[in-house]
A and B are shown apart, each in its own frame.
Chain A
Amino acid sequence: MAAVAIGAPVRRKEDFRFLTGKGHYVDDLNRPGQIHAYILRSPHPHAAA
Chain B
Amino acid sequence: MPSVTLTVNGKKATAEVENRTLLVQLLREQLGLTGTHVGCDTSQCGACVVHVDGNSVKSCTLLAVQAEGANVLTIEGLANGSELHPMQAAFREHHGLQCGFCTPGMVMSAVDLAHKNKNPTEHDIREWLEGNICRCTGYHNIVKAIKAGAEAMAGAR
Contacts and interface: CB of A to CB of B under 8 A. Distances in A.
Interface of A: 12, 14-25, 27-28, 30
Contacts of A18: 97, 99-100, 103
B147 to A, nearest CB: 17
B23 interface: no
B38 A15 contact: no
B56 interface: no
A19 B76 contact: no
Contacts of A25: 34, 37, 101
Size bracket, chain B contacts: 20 to 34
Q: Is the interface of A mostly helix, strand, loop or mixed?
A: loop
B92 A21 contact: no
A32 B123 CA distance: 47
Interface of B: 28-29, 32-38, 74-76, 78-79, 84, 88, 91-92, 95, 97, 99-101, 103-104, 107
A21 B84 contact: no
Given A15-B92, A25-B37, A27-B37, A20 B79 contact: yes
Given A18-B103, A19-B107, A21-B76, A27 B38 contact: yes
Contacts of B84: 16, 19-20
B38 A21 contact: no
Closest 10 CB pairs of A and B: A21-B35, A18-B100, A21-B75, A28-B34, A21-B76, A19-B88, A15-B92, A23-B100, A20-B79, A18-B103
A46 B111 CA distance: 52
